[in-house]
Structure 1
Amino acid sequence: MEGVTILRNSLRALATVLAAVIAGTGTATAAPVLPALPAQSSLPSHPAINPVFNDPSCIPSPAHPNPVVYFHGTGTDSNDFVDGAHFLRSQGFCLWTHHYGTGSDTLRNLVPGHRGLGPIDQSVEELADVVDGVLATTGAQKVDVVGYSQGGMLTKAYTQGRGAGKVGRAVSIAATFRGTTIDGVVPVIGSAVNANRASSEHLVGASTLDQFADSDFIGRISALPDTTAGIIYTALYTPSDTVATPYQTSMLEAVDGADVANINIEAVCGRGFAHQGLPRTTEVIHLVHWGLTRAPGQTTATPENCRA
């Protein structure tokens, strides 16, 4: 879940509007308006998918035969991964991605670059179709997946569903595997949100609500095993995270002999990290590369894995 300032301000607005409804003051006299955007990165205003992705002419090196499919987070898009994708391409990987969750009825869709906002069940099916298309195009037997925040949680939903047998490695970055409290915001507004689901979805997007720790979706996905044998998992997390909270939500439990590395980015790389911007961070880019190349059973990263 990205766009931290926007999301928190939106949730505060949501809480105010819903409180008025619950208190019997009638509907708001004006539709809620998203706050002004904070300073953005150098991403274009109307980003298309960068040509480093989805290149059918890309020939992977023999060491990296699996196409790598990126799953972006909530309120962002695949441009978050461009720097990392260029690095992986230089190492012999072929990269694929898709801007998912764009068809929902939410005010956040009006913000350029805000995607991943639709119901998560629909996004899982959307990405499953994308992976099938990548396999058909490349002739590969399996893909490796890299997911950030909601995208990381989608890797679990996918591998435990239609993706069974189609994934070799799964690397997650600050994933919301068990949902999030958004640093204590969710418990405060949860009952109001549940009582006014349609209005809430219109303001912040269905996927935001689906990732609340007490949501029906998280209840269903939490009932599934975290992992499955045969996939090499690398879960990157940061204890300073204030979006995917508590930070243990981003960790995986090894089930059925799965190969799992839970990596505290701060402890390994020697500095603090915030949730926002993680995929564009040099250390994370190199740890993703480590997760895609580490030997089976090598579950401990070192500071050397944080840099070239």
Structure 2
Amino acid sequence: MKLRWSRTLTLLPALALALGVTTPAPPAAADAPTVRSGWNNYSCKPSADHPRPVVLVHGTLGNAIDNWLGLAPYLVARGYCVFSLDYGQLPGVPFFHGLGPVDASAQQLATYVDRVLAATGTSKADLVGHSQGGMMPRVYMKFHGGAGKVNALVGLAPDNHGTDLNGLTRLLPYFPGAKQYLDKLTPGLSDQIAGSEILNRLNEGGDTVPGVHYTVIATKYDEVVTPYRTTFLDGPDVRNVVLQDLCSADYSEHVAIGLVDRIAFHETANALDPAHATPTTCASR
């Protein structure tokens, strides 16, 4: 038994790191600075040019601030009302969120979107999510009443069909107790493994819901969502993009695509305002 638990504990940190890391920035203490910069400002009213609020949805082990230190100011500077939330918190684990059950996180998103819509006086929002934050809103839209409240979903390296972590998850059966340990202590990680119950339910019957515009932005250097093309969606009104098809010199991997990649940011802006989209090239940096 001691040997079995030794193997389990050896595997778990690798799984958590691979599934979870979304931002290397030090955790922020509060969201007050974002208000002063125009982000998470509940007095913001969408303009005629950008008539919907944008809700940013962080990835696993991220939070409402650190995951968006690059993209939120980028969108605010372009005239958007931008908001972000924390979700998937575990008791006693500050700052590093997205570890709770995905279905429960989707319900948190539902509550938050309603709050933003009420504050801005709008009927629909646009959602932008990184990693789990690009997949979990689909659970919100399919199972928690969000389909009629979302105009567009932009996913930055979302794990829409789960991940095998370059085959690492297939090692779980060789570490007795490891899967049960993940399920109990970090269900948000288990839910993102390819073939999980929630992912099977989510993708059964089709990847999309009617009336929502989907954009998926992927990087072929993704080391977390593997194989990287499993991030793509199939259905009407879907645009799947690979960063390197736009700029072969872009070497961003899973973390950088959501944190600092200006090409991904430019594509996000295009997806939020397709009527005024401009070509994305290496110069978009």
Q: Shorter-chain TM-score category?
A: 0.7 to 0.9
User: Are residues 302 and 183 of structure 1, via their aligned partners in 2, closer, same or farther at CA, if it must alter by over 3 Å?
Assistant: farther
Which residue does 2:156 correspond to in 1?
Answer: 173
Which residue does 1:292 correspond to in 2?
Answer: 272
CA distance in 1, matches of 2:252, 2:56: 21
TM-fit CA distance, 1:303: 3.3
Which residue does 2:58 correspond to in 1?
Answer: 72
2:4 is the alignment partner of 1:20: yes
TM-fit CA distance, 1:41: 4.5
Counterpart contact for 1:19–1:192, Cα < 8 Å: no
Counterpart contact for 1:266–1:273, Cα < 8 Å: no
Which residue does 1:248 correspond to in 2?
Answer: 229
TM-fit CA distance, 1:60: 2.0
Counterpart contact for 1:143–1:166, Cα < 8 Å: yes
Local SS of the residue matching 1:239: coil
2:277 is the alignment partner of 1:274: no
CA distance in 2, matches of 1:72, 1:186: 23
Which residue does 2:82 correspond to in 1?
Answer: 95
Local SS of the residue matching 1:69: strand
CA distance in 1, matches of 2:43, 2:283: 30
The number of residue pairs the alignment matches comes to: 271
Give TM-score scaled by structure 1 length: 0.78
User: Are residues 104 and 18 of structure 1, via their aligned partners in 2, closer, same or farther at CA, if it must alter by over 3 Å?
Assistant: farther
Please, which moves more after superposition, 49-58 or 68-77?
A: 49-58
Deviations 1:207-244 (A, max 9, x none): 11110102212221121421123221111011211101
Counterpart contact for 1:177–1:251, Cα < 8 Å: yes
TM-fit CA distance, 1:54: 2.2
Which residue does 2:70 correspond to in 1?
Answer: 83
Counterpart contact for 2:39–2:76, Cα < 8 Å: no
TM-fit CA distance, 1:117: 0.5
Local SS of the residue matching 1:97: strand
CA distance in 2, matches of 1:97, 1:292: 16
What letter matches 2:213 in structure 1? I
Counterpart contact for 1:268–1:306, Cα < 8 Å: no
Counterpart contact for 2:109–2:137, Cα < 8 Å: no
Which residue does 1:164 correspond to in 2?
Answer: 147
Local SS of the residue matching 1:288: helix
User: Are residues 19 and 76 of structure 1, via their aligned partners in 2, closer, same or farther at CA, if it must alter by over 3 Å?
Assistant: farther
TM-fit CA distance, 1:186: 0.6
Identity %: 31
Counterpart contact for 2:163–2:194, Cα < 8 Å: yes
Which residue does 2:118 correspond to in 1?
Answer: 136
What letter matches 2:166 in structure 1? D
Local SS of the residue matching 2:166: coil
Counterpart contact for 1:174–1:250, Cα < 8 Å: yes
2:131 is the alignment partner of 1:145: no
What letter matches 1:303 in structure 2? T
TM-fit CA distance, 1:43: 3.6
CA distance in 2, matches of 1:126, 1:176: 19
Local SS of the residue matching 2:215: strand
Local SS of the residue matching 1:168: strand
User: Are residues 135 and 198 of structure 1, via their aligned partners in 2, closer, same or farther at CA, if it must alter by over 3 Å?
Assistant: same
Local SS of the residue matching 1:77: coil
Which residue does 1:61 correspond to in 2?
Answer: 47
CA distance in 1, matches of 2:247, 2:91: 38
Unaligned stretches of 5+ in structure 2?
none
Please, which moves more after superposition, 78-87 or 138-147?
A: 78-87
Q: Hey, which of these two has a bigger chunk of helix by percent?
A: 2
Which residue does 1:113 correspond to in 2?
Answer: 95
CA distance in 1, matches of 2:2, 2:56: 35
